[in-house]
Amino acid sequence: MREALAEAGAPPGVFALFTGREAGVTVLRDPRVKGAAFTGSVRGGRALFDIAAARPRPIPFYGELGSVNPVVVTRAALAERRDRIAAEFAASYTLGSGQFCTKPGILLLPRDADALQALADRVRGAAALPMLSPQIAAGYRRRLEEVAAAGATHLLVDGTTATTDPGERPQASPSLFTVTSVETFLADADNLLEECFGPSAVVVQYDTEEEAAALLERLEGSLTITFHTGADDGARLEAMVELAQARAGRVLFNGWPTGVAVTLAQQHGGPYPAATTATTSVGPHAVDRFLRPVVYQDAPAELLPLALREDNPLRLRRTVDGKAEPA
């Protein structure tokens, strides 16, 4: 990476790699570091966030922590495409062995025994896939035990977490839990609304849209909230969608959150604990986290940066006096 950057003309020090918890904390405390970003657990991210804030000169800390990314399926959507929803949900939550930060961890499904069976059939027998590290695999096993121990949950598909030979990454096959009602889920919400990083998900059966809205109301910040709707749902979901935009950085319709496109419109963030700020960590605007704006007021032309000079020698697209200026 360093060689490629040097060949491209980048200045020295643009890229460096530190490994290990102690090294990471040391770098974060170094006074030469002026900003930091993190992707990981709520516990680890919050500890680093507090270190960044407690420095003699606090620095911005852009943490992407935990997210359960709920999906709401309406009754009309289920009637129109039950098997497709089952197949796509199974593919989404098991993608990369469930280790995507946008993995849909909760599926709100209208009460339907056939739909529940279709989901189980899609997941059962799926191959085990590698976990990122032994530490992550161990954390996943602990979290699975916590979810299984919840009085609200029933194990629909019992996955495995196999330990491989030393030097190889451990593997896991998908698990799927179900909860028979929103009321039962909410009674153990502190446990079940915590992210489970790995190939597992919880299907919550509901009877009315008011129940589904009650679960979203209890939700903390999330990277995504998804709706699968039918042809006649329309404005009837307006209140629930408004609730979703208050809880998530990205609201999806009839798709799956594990596709994160690097586009100008991307917003990969959300209210805490999904993220510690409202900024995006994916897409062109992600660089804004590490830029500090400076205003030049009444400066002589020869002292202005090239990007701000009247004749625009860099031929940049600019906004001047509130109007877009062509390059």
**From the candidates 7, 22, 88, 101, which is the catalytic residue?**
101
CB crowding 244-264: b at 16 or more within 10 Å, else e: beebbbbbbeeebbbebeeee
88 catalytic residue (yes or no): no
One of 3, 7, 22, 64 is an active-site residue; which one?
A: 64
Distance CA 7, CA 123 (A): 47
DSSP 262: -
Q: Active-site residue 64, yes or no? A: yes
Q: Which residue carries 């129109």 as its tokens? A: 80
Of 165, 161, 123, 156, the C-alpha closest to 142 is 161
The strand pair at 153-157 and 161-162 is best described as unpaired
Q: How far, in Å, are 5, 9, 142, 199, 317 from residue 151 at the CA level?
A: 54, 59, 16, 21, 59
| Beta-carbon contacts of residue 107 (< 8 Å; ≥ 6 apart) | 70, 71, 73, 89, 119, 201, 202, 203, 204
Cis peptide bond N-terminal to 70, omega within 30: no
Annotated catalytic residues are: 64, 101
